[in-house]
Chain A
Amino acid sequence: MNLDWLDAFLLFGVFEVVMVIGLALLLHLQIGLVRIANFGVVGFWGLGAYAFGASFTKIDWSLGEPWPFLISVVVGTIVAGLGGLLVGWLIADLDTDGVLVGTLGFATAVVILVTTQDGLTGGALGMSGLRFPFDIGKTKANELLWFGILVLVVGAIFYYVARVHRSPYGRLLIAVGDNEPLARSLGKPAFRAKLWLFAIASAGMGLLGIMSATMFHLLIPEAIGINVTLAAIVALVLGGTARVWGAVVGAILTVGLFEILVQFYLPFPRSWYTQAIPVLREMVFGAALIIVLLVRPLGILGDMRRDKLVRRMHRG
């Protein structure tokens, strides 16, 4: 297959956009529906990636390909989910400030852990040897296939989230987010609902972390910095926390515009790309966040508009 037309850097840029869409969709379940302001997205993302990496590279697998890889993916996802269960259990009944500090603290703890536990994680030097579970020829072809799998995974997340909005489960989540004591008085187990949702979304974030680490073949502590969380939050808030499409629109307008337009089509000096661009990105994202919150606090797509959805749902 001739893939000369495909710019490898562009592929990585689009990969990141789709990955952030996935993160923002999961974050939408947490922030948009049950109103748990998770500022530790990267903690679960990194925990999943590192657990996967440790399982894949440190265990002496006697099984043939692709089993070590697939089992490690499951291990990483479950570890991220368990992390979510633990953090969720600690923060589910706290107010917004408590949740913010708790999740942010968790993400920091993960960075410190992967830096210090170098026997397992490679420490500051990082963890290499993460490779695709397949080999169909050229590097670029493998990367393109992996990107295709990511699109399928994020597509499945989108489908799930959209279905949740149309199911009694979604109604329960919105009710818990709106008025927890009232939901409880109607017999709804609010705490359990929040806890499970948090754990499931965290597991999903872990899976996306695994996919990202595999694409880059490398995991270093710098990769699990606040910028991942920031990208997901800015995308979601800009697009609209309450709507499913908010995550998609937001991610394309933020990470999409920046990664693809700025990195590829604007004539910045070459030397900027390592130092100035990442900083510029954080500044632009921060500014976008402030402007959106001032001008259109509900994001570009605005309110949930449940009335329209419910009418459509029960028409047929």
Chain B
Amino acid sequence: MGDIRNVAAATRPQIRIEGVKKSFDGRVVVDVDELILGGHPIEGLIGPNGAGKTTLMRMIMHSTRLDEGKIAYRRGDGDDEVVLSNLPTHRMADIGIVKSNQVIQDFDNLTIWDSLLLAVAEASNERSYQIYREKRVFEAHAEDIRWYLERFPFEDPNGFAKSAGEKKMLDIIRCLLLRPEVLLLDEPTAGLPEDLRDDLMEVVKEKSTTENMLVVIVEHDLEVIWTMSDYVHFMAEGSVILRGEPDWIREHETVVEKYLGSGHVAG
């Protein structure tokens, strides 16, 4: 039995966070002894404001430096571990880790099509002397992109993303187009109408099984967490203090007291 479980664990991408600390101006924001992401296909990370969730995500992406500790990553194909905190930010996507943004991020001068083609274009087609590669990139990826554009309604896919919702959606589609092994979603549904939110999450769920992708969701919209996650980590004051199945976390005394408030349990 033990062997089978090991094999199963080895085929799933895994992020191991060990003794990681970060403080800003002397205030400890993140202090995680040990956290392993990747035991389940979709994992939720919740906690009150200021618990350090976003900072921890940024530390995984190495866009925030670690004061102490180590974050290591093992790909789904069971290769050797890579220490993420040694890599420059732009290498993360290469090795299969991407993150959507909590605060809306966009390219002001790129259209929706542009933005998606940018995400999928290979480095070999983006060199300064490759000035005839547009057609090749377009033909190789147009079908993939069209699939998303048909599934998600943009007012004018040939134009620019207009509303905050469109920009948010674009951000996540860009990530999905990269076919990552690990997808970190930092408040993916903030600002999205309910039907779009459900649609988007359905696609994420679909991809997590068809593409063997590990998804980690940070979210305040707990309905998303309860319906999507197979496993939930609860953070407070910089540390992960509880972990478990969504139903168990949902009713746990500490979570209720520190985060949900007693009204939630009754509801």
Which residue of A160, A200, A313 is within 8 Å of B131 (Cβ)?
Answer: A160
User: Would you call B90 and A189 a contact (CB within 8 A)?
Assistant: yes
User: Would you call A168 and B134 a contact (CB within 8 A)?
Assistant: yes
Residues of the A chain whose Cβ atoms lie less than 8 Å from the Cβ of B158: 307, 310-311
Which residue of B114, B121, B131 is within 8 Å of A306 (Cβ)?
Answer: B114
User: Would you call B92 and A187 a contact (CB within 8 A)?
Assistant: yes
* C-alpha spacing A314/B108, complex, angstroms: 20
Interface pick from B65-73, B97-105, B259-267: B97-105
Residues of the B chain whose Cβ atoms lie less than 8 Å from the Cβ of A314: 113, 138, 142
* C-alpha spacing A190/B160, complex, angstroms: 22
Interface pick from A171-179, A258-266, A287-295: A171-179
Residues of the A chain whose Cβ atoms lie less than 8 Å from the Cβ of B142: 314
Which residue of A185, A306, A307 is within 8 Å of B89 (Cβ)?
Answer: A185
B188 vs chain A, min Cβ distance (A): 15
A125 vs chain B, min Cβ distance (A): 39
In chain B, residues 148-205, which have Cβ atoms closer than 8 Å to a Cβ of chain A? 158-160, 174, 178
Question: Which size class do B's interface residues fall under?
Answer: 35 or more
- Given contacts A169-B130, A184-B89, A184-B90, A304 and B101 within 8 Å (CB-CB): no
* C-alpha spacing A45/B173, complex, angstroms: 44
User: Would you call B61 and A185 a contact (CB within 8 A)?
Assistant: yes
Residues of the A chain whose Cβ atoms lie less than 8 Å from the Cβ of B101: 182, 185
A186 in contact (CB, < 8 A) = yes
* C-alpha spacing A304/B115, complex, angstroms: 15
- 21 contacting pairs across A/B (C-beta < 8 A): A163-B131, A167-B131, A167-B132, A168-B117, A168-B133, A169-B126, A169-B130, A169-B133, A171-B117, A172-B118, A172-B121, A174-B109, A179-B108, A181-B63, A185-B63, A185-B89, A186-B174, A187-B93, A187-B123, A187-B178, A307-B159
Can you name 11 extra interface pairs (CB under 8 A) apart from A163-B132, A174-B107, A186-B93? Answer: A166-B131, A168-B117, A168-B137, A169-B130, A171-B121, A179-B108, A182-B105, A185-B101, A186-B98, A190-B90, A310-B114
